[in-house]
């Protein structure tokens, strides 16, 4: 259901009232309509489908050059690490997370702090890839987020005081939460991180009001899922497939497949889409088989957690390509018919277009310049055609201590990593934040130890070119054509947003918020925020003006895991600021 014009007018006319008494409660309808209501941003993804497309056009290719900061807000303290958050905005209040599991409510007109919440993490947390958080969820009168010690926290939206806190998993076994939760039909739904520690991945739903577990869906084949009512299992287990079918021995018990990047939701098919990480350990010779449901996209029923279909991008992953990247629902016309599709740009270098009703492969193509591990995709199934000698070798074939190394491209940090791409309903293009890098990778023996790294691999990442690593690309999902590209010296690690004003926004580790022409890729605007931008921009309308916000603060996985690439970026300054921009009044075109 979409808000009609009358509905939108009502929402705007109540804004003044809302400001005087704080933000109004967020309803299911607010969440489902988010992409069509530019006066607020109440979901991660600027809409549950995750398109990150704004219908606003006040700000456009003609006036973007005049964009100016309205205010900047410091996250404060010494906790300056990667700021990968996407802000939410409701009734003039911004809710944004920061490194080390912190949340801030800010007056979106002035940049003044309303409250802050610090999760006070224990010493033993085990985040693989920096102490990041990607954002909150809003529902009713609460603000929700996940913590690095794998808890879900519900805060009062007006005071920032916790209303309930639930342990989702044991951080001492390697679990963490970094993704923004998603709220559908009154349930708050989260994944977990931990694929580098041999956890068992799972997606779980909790009652948003009470915090009671509603269902649990493990994402390693062989583990059962369950539905709960009042704390009791109310149904027999919902099968997660046969233990041992795609895993040898007991390997499925520590199989990873962590859905650490959260999910999207498609209202047309009533389906959640979550991706899963690498199978554990990285050394693939220890686990012959496809290792379901690792490195896959899962279509999940939001009512009971059952798996409707799965699509595995990297069966028997031996390169840590994961399969977590966001699956974005979109429709396109072909031969006079509307295709209900979904697209994802995988770490493994291929871009996939799927039928979102049944998971059927429609087409796939490389979105990076070079892929060494596969020669292509089976045109019928989308299954990769493995390159000969593309897989790092088995230590057992050598002296047992180290297998034969290979050069693999993309590197394990991916042709694209966590940073979300955007889809423009105007141009029909996807805007993909990608990177060109390779790695030396080899396997080593390893055995599982609870809470220890479970890799069995060594690696060094290297730039693929002398003068750039990052490439922002406009990709045509119907043809696989790269319509334009913009190269950046440092690897891109921030999310992308596009608008009806034909603009594409993203940030760079060099510190810039940038805007591009969505049709041509021409760089139209840049502003240096003082630290690397690895957050995800948003835009909304307030008091008749269009605003843009983005978090700034260099960090994330690249400085920690980047090998030779980390040397390229080691001089970038850390930070922690959310910036908000708008046009000066005399530059706004009359409506």
DSSP for residue 127: -
What is the CA 496 to chain-centroid distance, rounded? 11
Residue nearer to Ca ion on the CB measure, 258 or 518: 258
221 lies in the binding site for Ca ion (CB under 5 A): no
Residue nearer to Ca ion on the CB measure, 195 or 262: 195
DSSP secondary structure string for all residues of 201-244: -EEEEEETTT--EEEEEE-STTPPBEEEETTEE-SPPBP---TT
List the structure tokens of 222: 């062989």
- Name the residue number minimizing CB distance to Ca ion: 37
Q: How far is the CB of 330 from Ca ion (least distance, A)?
A: 18
296 lies in the binding site for Ca ion (CB under 5 A): no
130 lies in the binding site for Ca ion (CB under 5 A): no
Distance between CA atoms of residues 545 and 203, nearest Å: 39
The 83-112 site mask, x for binding Ca ion (CB under 5 A), equals ------------------------------
Helices (H), 509-562: 558-561
CB 153 within 8 A of CB 119: yes
CB atoms within 10 A of CB 388: 6
Q: How far is the CB of 543 from Ca ion (least distance, A)?
A: 16
Distance between CA atoms of residues 323 and 314, nearest Å: 7
Comparing C-alpha atoms, which of 423, 461, 432, 424 is closest to residue 366? 432
Q: What is the largest CA-CA distance in the chain?
A: 74
Among 37-45, 104-112, 339-347, 395-403, the segment contacting Ca ion (CB under 5 A): 37-45
Instruction: Give the CA radius of gyration of the chain.
Output: 22
Q: How far is the CB of 129 from Ca ion (least distance, A)?
A: 8
- Site for Ca ion, residues 395 to 434, rule: CB under 5 A: none
Q: How far is the CB of 456 from Ca ion (least distance, A)?
A: 13
Residue nearer to Ca ion on the CB measure, 153 or 548: 548
Q: Give the active site residue among 317, 320, 346, 502.
A: 320
346 lies in the binding site for Ca ion (CB under 5 A): no
Q: Which of 26, 32, 37, 354 binds Ca ion (CB under 5 A)?
A: 37
CB 421 within 8 A of CB 326: yes
Residue nearer to Ca ion on the CB measure, 37 or 580: 37
277 lies in the binding site for Ca ion (CB under 5 A): yes
Q: What's the N-to-C CA distance of the chain in angstroms?
A: 27
320 lies in the binding site for Ca ion (CB under 5 A): yes
H/E stretch holding 513 reads strand 512-517
Residue nearer to Ca ion on the CB measure, 508 or 549: 549
Q: Which of 32, 40, 221, 435 binds Ca ion (CB under 5 A)?
A: 40
Q: Which of 50, 92, 195, 262 binds Ca ion (CB under 5 A)?
A: 195
CB atoms within 10 A of CB 164: 17
Distance between CA atoms of residues 64 and 57, nearest Å: 11
CB 576 within 8 A of CB 98: yes
CA dihedral of residues 562, 579, 432, 294 (deg, nearest 10): 60
Residue nearer to Ca ion on the CB measure, 221 or 322: 322
Residue nearer to Ca ion on the CB measure, 129 or 213: 129
Q: How far is the CB of 571 from Ca ion (least distance, A)?
A: 27
Q: How far is the CB of 41 from Ca ion (least distance, A)?
A: 5
Question: For this structure, is 62 an active site residue?
Answer: no
DSSP secondary structure string for all residues of 28-52: HHHHHTGGG-TT-B-STTSSTT---
Among 10-18, 189-197, 452-460, 558-566, the segment contacting Ca ion (CB under 5 A): 189-197
Q: How far is the CB of 540 from Ca ion (least distance, A)?
A: 7
Residue nearer to Ca ion on the CB measure, 218 or 279: 279
**Non-local CB neighbours of 371 within 8 Å, separated by 6+ positions:** 348, 349, 350, 409, 410, 415
Among 32-40, 94-102, 387-395, 498-506, the segment contacting Ca ion (CB under 5 A): 32-40
278 lies in the binding site for Ca ion (CB under 5 A): yes
Q: How many residues make contact with Ca ion (CB under 5 A)?
A: 8
Q: How far is the CB of 90 from Ca ion (least distance, A)?
A: 9
Comparing C-alpha atoms, which of 267, 493, 285 is closest to residue 398? 285
Among 34-42, 92-100, 161-169, 498-506, the segment contacting Ca ion (CB under 5 A): 34-42
What is the CA 44 to chain-centroid distance, rounded? 9
| Location of structure tokens 């109440």 | 42
List the structure tokens of 545: 């003006």
Tell which phi-psi region holds residue 291, choosing left (phi > 0), alpha (psi between -120 and 50) or beta. Answer: left
Residue nearer to Ca ion on the CB measure, 420 or 521: 420
Q: Which of 11, 34, 44, 469 binds Ca ion (CB under 5 A)?
A: 34
Binding site for Ca ion (CB under 5 A): 34, 37, 40, 195, 277-278, 320, 322
Q: Could you give the residue numbers annotated as active site?
A: 320
């Amino acid at each position: 259901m979409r808000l009609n014009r009358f509905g939108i007018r009502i929402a705007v006319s109540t804004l003044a009232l809302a400001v005087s008494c704080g933000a109004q409660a967020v309803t299911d309808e607010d969440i489902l309509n988010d992409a069509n209501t530019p006066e607020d941003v109440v979901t991660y993804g600027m809409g549950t489908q995750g398109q990150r497309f704004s219908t606003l056009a006040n700000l456009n290719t003609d006036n973007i050059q005049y964009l100016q900061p309205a205010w900047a807000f410091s996250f404060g303290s010494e906790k300056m690490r990667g700021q990968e958050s996407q802000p939410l905005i409701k009734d003039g209040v911004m809710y944004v997370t920061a490194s080390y599991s912190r949340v801030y409510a800010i007056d979106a007109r002035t940049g003044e702090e309303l409250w802050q919440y610090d999760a006070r993490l224990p010493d033993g947390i085990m985040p693989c890839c920096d102490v990041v958080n990607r954002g909150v969820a809003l529902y009713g009168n609460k603000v929700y987020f996940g913590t690095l010690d794998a808890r879900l926290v519900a805060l009062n939206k007006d005071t920032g005081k916790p209303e309930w806190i639930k342990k989702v998993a044991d951080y001492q076994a390697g679990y963490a939460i970094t993704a923004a939760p998603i709220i559908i039909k009154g349930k708050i739904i989260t994944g977990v991180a931990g694929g580098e520690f041999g956890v068992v991945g799972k997606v779980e739903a909790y009652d948003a009001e009470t915090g009671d577990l509603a269902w649990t869906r493990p994402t390693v084949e062989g583990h059962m899922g369950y539905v709960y009512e009042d704390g009791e299992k109310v149904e027999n287990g919902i099968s997660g497939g046969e233990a041992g079918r795609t895993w040898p021995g007991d390997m499925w018990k520590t199989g990873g497949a962590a859905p650490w990047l959260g999910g999207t939701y498609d209202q047309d098919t009533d389906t959640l889409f979550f991706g899963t990480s690498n199978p554990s350990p990285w050394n693939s010779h220890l686990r012959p088989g496809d290792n379901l449901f690792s490195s896959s996209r899962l279509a999940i029923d939001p009512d009971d957690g059952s798996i409707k279909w799965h699509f595995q991008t990297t069966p028997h992953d031996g390169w840590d390509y994961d399969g977590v990247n966001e699956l974005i629902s979109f429709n396109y016309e072909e031969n006079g018919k509307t295709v209900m599709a979904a697209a994802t740009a995988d770490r493994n270098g291929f871009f996939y277009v799927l039928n979102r009703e049944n998971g059927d492969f429609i087409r796939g193509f490389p979105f990076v310049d070079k892929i060494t591990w596969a020669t292509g995709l089976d045109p019928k199934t989308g299954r990769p055609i493995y390159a000969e000698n593309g897989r790092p070798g088995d230590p057992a074939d050598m002296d047992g201590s180290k297998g034969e190394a290979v050069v693999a491209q993309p590197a394990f940090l991916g042709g694209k990593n966590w940073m979300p791409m955007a889809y423009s309903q105007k141009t029909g293009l996807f805007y993909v934040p990608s990177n060109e890098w390779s790695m030396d990778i080899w396997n080593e023996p390893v055995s599982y130890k609870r809470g220890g790294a479970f890799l069995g691999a060594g690696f060094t990442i290297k730039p693929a070119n002398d003068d750039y690593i990052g490439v922002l690309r406009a990709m045509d999902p119907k043809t696989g054509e790269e319509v334009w590209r913009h190269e950046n010296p440092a690897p891109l690690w921030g999310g992308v947003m596009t608008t009806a004003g034909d603009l594409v926004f993203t940030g760079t580790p060099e510190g810039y918020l940038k805007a591009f022409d969505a049709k041509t890729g021409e760089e139209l605007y840049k502003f240096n925020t003082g630290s690397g931008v690895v957050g995800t921009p948003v835009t909304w309308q307030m008091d008749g003006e269009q605003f843009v916000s983005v978090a700034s603060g260099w960090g994330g996985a690249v400085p920690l895991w980047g090998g030779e690439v980390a040397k390229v970026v080691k001089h970038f300054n850390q930070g922690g600021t959310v910036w908000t921009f708008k046009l000066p009044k005399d530059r706004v075109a009359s409506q």
